[in-house]
């Protein structure tokens, strides 16, 4: 009986997995494989938080496969070499995988596909991770989109995404399994256990992903358009790491939303559904941009910003990373990130703006910190977000739009629920003082046990002065923008 290898990557699920389905439909033995090859990811090998999540998700996938009488073969090293060894040991005649779209991986995969085909191996790749292929999405002039709204309008005109594939229920096993490493041999988990906060905030694997989606649709979906900007309430789905590691596919999410509407008797597309599905659109847009403009992982899309006078501000960067800037909303966000591996999207915009505009630190420094600390670190969307904040990317916020972190807190955390949770040393302050403690009355600070500069830092920069400095920096390149 012939055998086919299914190369799992960022598609760690059994449902809506086109590569796995193709191998099953072929009718022979199916050998599921994961290869740990971080050196093949270019300048962006997986960060610490991502590696931790990957370990848990691989363990979950392995258990799911074992329940089907199969198993996950784990290897590490050069992907082409390991696939070659597996083909030889199993007499496999085909290799299937779902595509990824990061520049280094696209180049790697193209080379592997060509070499295996030259050896007479059947190789097929599939779209299992996006709603639309970036290679097939262009504007009327035949060029890639650079603005989100026309991109999304174009996508929506193409109709609803195809329905997700059902979960695989049976896999043919070989008479003899190829050699496999233990998952622990990949050393994805930290030697010093710093991941307790991540464990406390998440469940891992496709089962946990499906439960998270069901809970969101049942509890928070109706209020999504209004609540999504408020970090102190449960108003978002938190599905981003699920989508990044492929515990869920975007097609599964899309059609679950549509089924939710039908179950509740809606006869047309609802406002909350469109608001949420639009966020899937932003994910698609990020991958569209990175695929067509691969240099943007390291350099600005807007060439004028190559000459922007960024500052080497080690002390400011360190204070930002630690959540010790003296601006409570910024500090709350950075502490949430460090503890849980996650950061609410509204707060992501605030902390990113603070780094690149209040401190004039290069956006790549922030992107790399997020890359190492976010469980949903995704090169396409991380790049899109940071270039948006820095004003140098597609559809970016103008650089002269400078978030005031106090005003942002007043608007989106007016009762201080979010700040109080993550910055507990300020708990006893009134709502007004909580969001700008350096402006508080001395008696209130004393009564609350807050000593600025000791129990909580003074602001490391004055907002008004920082704004003026940012605008002056912009003036140096304004003629080029």
Q: What residue ranges do the domains of the chain occupy?
A: 3-128, 130-164+206-292, 303-480
Token readout for 200 is: 């406390």
Contact (Cβ atoms closer than 8 angstroms) between residue 10 and residue 243:
no
State pLDDT tens for residues 172-216: 999 999 999 999 999 999 999 999 999 999 999 999 999 999 999
Given a contact cutoff of 8 angstroms between Cβ atoms, the answer to whether 124 and 26 are in contact is no
Count the Cβ atoms, other than its own, within 10 Å of residue 70: 23
Residue 267's pLDDT band, with cuts at 50, 70 and 90, is low
Place of tokens 């402006």: 439
Does the global pTM surpass 0.85? yes
- From the candidate CATH numbers 3.40.50.300, 1.25.40.80, 1.10.10.10, 1.10.3720.10, the one assigned to the domain spanning 130-164+206-292: 1.25.40.80
Check if 3-128 and 303-480 are the same fold.
no
Q: Please, what is the average pLDDT of the chain? A: 95
Tokens of 110: 């193209």
Predicted local confidence at residue 268, as pLDDT: 57
pLDDT at 119 over 60: yes
**Region of poorest pLDDT, from 167-181, 230-244, 389-403:** 389-403
- 97's enclosing H/E stretch is strand 92-98
Q: What is the pLDDT of residues 272-310, one digit of tens each?
A: 789 999 999 999 999 999 999 999 999 999 999 999 999
In this prediction, residues 8-36 reach a mean pLDDT of 97
Q: Which residues are annotated as a binding site?
A: 224, 276, 376-378
Q: Which residues contact 314 (CB under 8 A, 6 or more apart)?
A: none
Q: Which residues contact 134 (CB under 8 A, 6 or more apart)?
A: 101, 287, 288, 291, 292
Q: How much of the chain is helix, strand and coil, in % rounded to 5?
A: 55, 5, 40
Fold of 3-128: Rossmann fold (3.40.50)
Query: Residues marked as binding for FAD?
Result: 224, 276, 376-378
| CA quadruple 259, 263, 269, 275: dihedral sign | negative
Whole-number Å distance between alpha carbons of 453 and 320 = 16
Q: What architecture (CATH level 2) is domain 303-480?
A: Orthogonal Bundle (1.10)
480 confidence band (pLDDT: 50, 70, 90): low
Tell me what pLDDT residue 389 has: 94
- Residue at token pair 């102190």: 232
Rounded Cα gap, residues 330 and 414, in angstroms: 15
Q: Which of 432, 431, 428 is nearest to 455 (CA)?
A: 428
- How far apart CA 426 and CA 420 sit, in angstroms, is 7
Residue carrying the six token digits 């358009």: 225
């Amino acid at each position: 009986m012939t055998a086919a290898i299914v190369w799992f990557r960022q598609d760690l699920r059994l449902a809506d997995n086109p590569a796995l389905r193709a191998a099953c439909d072929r009718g022979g033995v199916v050998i599921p494989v994961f290869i740990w090859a971080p050196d093949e990811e270019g300048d962006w090998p997986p960060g610490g938080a991502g590696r931790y999540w990957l370990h848990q998700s691989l363990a979950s996938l392995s258990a799911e496969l074992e329940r089907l009488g199969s198993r996950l073969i784990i290897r590490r090293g050069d992907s082409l070499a390991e696939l070659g060894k597996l083909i030889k040991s199993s007499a496999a005649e085909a290799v299937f995988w779902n595509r990824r779209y990061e520049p280094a991986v696209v180049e790697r995969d193209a080379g592997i596909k060509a070499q295996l085909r030259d050896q007479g191996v059947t190789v097929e790749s599939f779209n299992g991770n996006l709603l639309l292929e970036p290679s097939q999405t262009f504007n009327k002039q035949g060029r890639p989109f650079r603005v989100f709204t026309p991109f999304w309008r174009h996508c929506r005109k193409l109709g609803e995404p195809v329905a997700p594939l059902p979960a695989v229920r049976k896999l043919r096993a070989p008479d003899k399994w190829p050699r496999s490493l233990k998952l622990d041999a990949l050393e994805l988990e930290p030697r010093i256990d710093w991941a307790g906060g991540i464990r406390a905030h998440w469940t891992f694997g496709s089962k946990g992903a499906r439960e998270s989606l069901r809970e969101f649709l049942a509890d928070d979906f109706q209020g999504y358009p209004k609540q999504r900007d408020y970090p102190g309430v449960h108003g978002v789905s938190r599905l981003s790491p699920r989508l990044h590691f492929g515990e869920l596919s975007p097609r599964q999410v899309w059609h679950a939303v549509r089924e939710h509407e039908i179950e509740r008797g809606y006869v047309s597309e609802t406002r909350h559904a469109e608001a949420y599905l639009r966020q899937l659109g932003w994910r698609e847009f990020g991958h569209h941009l990175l695929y067509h403009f691969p240099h943007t992982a390291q350099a600005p899309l807007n060439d004028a910003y190559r000459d922007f006078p960024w500052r080497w501000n080690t002390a400011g960067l360190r204070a930002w990373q630690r959540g010790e800037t003296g601006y409570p909303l910024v500090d709350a966000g950075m502490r949430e990130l460090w503890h849980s591996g996650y950061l609410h999207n509204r707060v992501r915009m605030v902390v990113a703006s603070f780094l690149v505009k209040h401190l004039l630190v290069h956006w790549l420094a922030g992107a790399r910190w997020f890359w190492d600390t976010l469980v949903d670190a995704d090169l396409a969307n991380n790049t899109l977000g940071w270039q948006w904040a820095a004003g140098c990317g597609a559809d970016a916020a103008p650089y002269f739009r400078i978030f005031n972190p106090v005003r942002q807190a007043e608007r989106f955390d007016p009762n201080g629920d979010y700040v109080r949770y993550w910055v507990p040393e300020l708990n006893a302050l009134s709502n007004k003082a909580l969001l700008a403690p350096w402006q508080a009355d001395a008696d209130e600070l004393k009564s609350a046990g807050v000593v600025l500069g000791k129990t909580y830092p003074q602001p490391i920069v004055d907002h008004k002065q920082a704004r003026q400095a940012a605008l002056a920096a912009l003036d140096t390149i304004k003629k080029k923008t």
